[in-house]
Chains A and B, each alone.
Chain A
Amino acid sequence: MPEKKIRVLIAKPGLDGHDRGAKIIARALRDAGMEVIYTGLRQTPEMIASAAIQEDVDVIGLSILSGAHNTICPQLMNLLREKGMNDVTVLVGGIIPEADISALKKSGIAEIFLPGTSTQDIVNFIHKRVPSA
């Protein structure tokens, strides 16, 4: 039986349009053999949660640089819980002040990748966290 590919939703929530990071991650994960769906810009937490269900993803990667993470992340995590998506791994990449990291992790975010992270570190993290079946 062929190995099932890890499915990842890369999402860009909020009003910000700086998508360099989101696109690089989408491409790097695809090059690493994952199935990547990129939502495009300006996704609300509702749109992200329904896309995650519809696409049946293992991982959601959020790219946030605008400072809106403390609003967006808890909203998304609540929605995912309400919809019963408890086993999806949610990652955040972007500009996140150190002081906000522990609260975000408490809300259920699995890991936060700060500027300067190599794409290989993110690939490795996902492989460790989501064993492909």
Chain B
Amino acid sequence: MSNKPKGSTQTLTPVEPSVPHRKPSAKELAWEKNTLQPSLEKSPERDYDFTTTSGHPIRRLYSEADLAGWDPERDLGLPGGPPYTRGIHPTMYRTRLWTMRQFAGFGAAEDTNARFRYLLSQGQTGLSTAFDLPTLMGYDADHPLSEGEVGKCGVAISSLADMEVLFDKIPLSNVTTSMTINSPAAVIWAMYLAVAEKQGADWKKISGTLQNDILKEYIAQKEYIYPPGPSMRLVIDTFEFGVKNTPKFNPISISGYHIREAGSTAIQELAFTLRDGLEYVEWGMRRGLEVDEFVPQLSFFFNAHNDFFEEIAKYRAARRIWHKAMVERYKSKNPRSWALRFHTQTAGCSLTAQQPYNNVVRTAIQALAAVMGGTQSLHTNSLDEAWALPTEFAATIALRTQQIIAHETGVTNMVDPLGGSYFVETLTNEVEHGAWDYIEKIDAMGGMVAAIERGYPQREIAEASYRYQVAVDKKEKIIVGVNDFVSEEKPLEILQIDETVAHRQAERLRKLRADRSQAEVDRRLSALRHAAKGTENLMPFIFDAVKSYATLGEICDAMRDVFGTYEEVAIT
């Protein structure tokens, strides 16, 4: 982003730096001379850096001159068909609204079960589970490293017994569930499938999404356990298991969300996420899966940040890139593989601790961008999330925000309302080109695993994140209530999780270990360890271990014994 203020200098050069392919019409050139120039002389533009949140330069006016090489038939198409720029369904929200899926999880399983049932009673249409840090890292609640972390950032799940409580009285045959779990995803999924089986739900019919995106953990969120090789094996094991057993379940949600939260630009979020997607496709094919057999079940997850049009352009470009990659790189024949489906969450990192009620407004605008960009499901953040996990009060407003967009604004009445806008189509093209540049760079490095091992995406994100912070510190980017428009205020009422959750969990684990058949647990864990040394699909072994009430920590440890653990080289 440029730190040189423009403004007054623009009165002297009213026509912005020429873009090579841009050919303004005679009418536009005349307008520049006769209308724009006198206007700028009289009232110069604001002294402001006209760039997106990501620092992408934005010009004053977009016209047909910007779309010289653009072919609406090739680049835009019609909704529900290639290249899917306008959306993956012919009717979009006229037929079915997006799934309103609020991410929730805190305390022990019974606490989150109550929140789930509350959200469903308030009109939420899908569940989304947040797990606590020990669960995300594959430790039981009574592990020494879990001290102080149990139930804090999500729900504590240490065994199938906890999972049974989490989904008590929630029929898994009717509700779709998303689970934000990565390194131990195979284990948590096995627990979920075991609960479904107990409820008598048909695995062929249940549907939901496992996050299971380990590549973005190495890149951004850093909740990894094993080195990349064995981690990727586990991911592909879930793909293969899913193709055979759970055809409606998305075994992965390839996530840009966390990449963006770590400070990337919109283009980096898009590029690294889609390149991750291609990496999974290639590993799946190497396993012997047919592209069109597993790619239709791959789903995506993007961030919705503050810059309204940049975000919309990102979603539209995402669909176009994925379609092109599937058809050209992998010779896919199945339209279901071509259509990129995605979940969106509004940007947690955009929320401010200061004047937190303003966050309702930020979230509404971000959510509107996601809807105008054609999202399939949406989570809206709560106003208090720069402080803590949301209270029920705050979570309700967040859900109501989606309901207002869906039922009051009118934006759901038509498909792709911004299609054909000079600006949105130009920005979509620019975001797409920027993403392809990154994708090709990573191809040249030998793929995403190789790029991660070199620290490439990590370094690009750290640079972008620092640049943004400097811009905020210098007030080149204004954040209302933080670096401008500051005022005094009273602290919010927030949700606090105390240590009684950890004690309850520890007691529950003690009882579980006393009541189960230890011999059976040992036998199944040693079968898993043995299989991990070979090349078999590990899902059946993990499922067996889960059903004997082996704990999450024990199962992850069995694999730690074989796979080892991963330590990153920290880049600052």
- Partner-B contacts on A (CB < 8 A): 10, 14-20, 22-24, 26-28, 30, 36, 38-42, 44, 66-68, 70-72, 95, 97-99, 114-116, 118-120
Any A CB within 8 A of the CB of B531? no
Q: Which of B128-145 contact A (CB under 8 A)?
A: 133-134, 136-137, 139, 145
Are B149 and A66 in contact (CB-based, < 8 A)? yes
Q: Which of B350-383 contact A (CB under 8 A)?
A: 352-354
Segment from B82-90, B280-288, B399-407, B465-473 that makes contact with A: B465-473
Instruction: Kindly identify which residue among B223, B483, B496 contacts A17, using a CB–CB cutoff of 8 Å.
Output: B223
Are B263 and A20 in contact (CB-based, < 8 A)? yes
Any A CB within 8 A of the CB of B15? no
Interface size class of B (residues with CB under 8 A): 35 or more
Jot down 17 A-B pairs with beta carbons below 8 A, ordered by A: A10-B572, A17-B217, A17-B222, A18-B221, A22-B572, A27-B462, A27-B466, A36-B572, A40-B570, A67-B152, A67-B153, A95-B387, A97-B496, A115-B386, A116-B353, A116-B482, A119-B469
In the bound assembly, the distance between CA atoms of A23 and B469 in angstroms comes to 11
Are A67 and B352 in contact (CB-based, < 8 A)? no
Contacts of A115 in B (CB 8 A): 352-353, 386
Q: Name 18 extra pairs, CB < 8 A, besides A20-B261, A20-B465.
A: A10-B572, A14-B148, A16-B153, A23-B466, A23-B572, A38-B572, A39-B570, A40-B567, A41-B222, A41-B568, A67-B153, A68-B152, A72-B148, A95-B353, A97-B387, A97-B494, A99-B491, A118-B473
Contacts of A28 in B (CB 8 A): 466, 469
Contacts of B469 in A (CB 8 A): 24, 28, 119
Any A CB within 8 A of the CB of B418? no
Which chain A residue lies CB-closest to B570? A40
Which chain B residue lies CB-closest to A39? B570
Given contacts A17-B221, A20-B262, A115-B352, contact A66 B152 (CB under 8 A): yes
Are A23 and B462 in contact (CB-based, < 8 A)? yes
Whole-angstrom distance between the Cβ of B180 and the nearest chain A Cβ: 13
Are B494 and A15 in contact (CB-based, < 8 A)? no
Question: 10 tightest A-B contacts by CB?
Answer: A71-B148, A17-B222, A68-B148, A67-B152, A40-B570, A15-B133, A116-B482, A26-B572, A115-B353, A98-B491
Any A CB within 8 A of the CB of B36? no
Any A CB within 8 A of the CB of B197? no
Are B388 and A67 in contact (CB-based, < 8 A)? yes
Are B354 and A116 in contact (CB-based, < 8 A)? yes
B contacts with A: majority SS: loop
Any A CB within 8 A of the CB of B479? yes
Instruction: Kindly identify which residue among A19, A97, A118 contacts B222, using a CB–CB cutoff of 8 Å.
Output: A19
Whole-angstrom distance between the Cβ of A43 and the nearest chain B Cβ: 11
Any A CB within 8 A of the CB of B201? no
Contacts of B224 in A (CB 8 A): 17
Any A CB within 8 A of the CB of B147? yes
Whole-angstrom distance between the Cβ of A35 and the nearest chain B Cβ: 13
Whole-angstrom distance between the Cβ of A2 and the nearest chain B Cβ: 24
Which chain A residue lies CB-closest to B475? A118
Are B145 and A15 in contact (CB-based, < 8 A)? yes
Any A CB within 8 A of the CB of B497? yes
Given contacts A15-B136, A17-B223, A67-B152, contact A120 B387 (CB under 8 A): no
In the bound assembly, the distance between CA atoms of A36 and B104 in angstroms comes to 37
Whole-angstrom distance between the Cβ of A93 and the nearest chain B Cβ: 12
Given contacts A71-B147, A95-B388, contact A27 B572 (CB under 8 A): yes
Are B148 and A70 in contact (CB-based, < 8 A)? yes
In the bound assembly, the distance between CA atoms of A14 and B222 in angstroms comes to 12
Instruction: Kindly identify which residue among B134, B148, B353 contacts A114, using a CB–CB cutoff of 8 Å.
Output: B353
Which chain A residue lies CB-closest to B469? A24
Contacts of B153 in A (CB 8 A): 16, 66-67
Chain B 55-72 interface mask (CB, 8 Å, partner A; 1/0): 000000000000000000
Whole-angstrom distance between the Cβ of B117 and the nearest chain A Cβ: 24
Chain B 105-132 interface mask (CB, 8 Å, partner A; 1/0): 0000000000000000000000000000
In the bound assembly, the distance between CA atoms of A15 and B479 in angstroms comes to 30
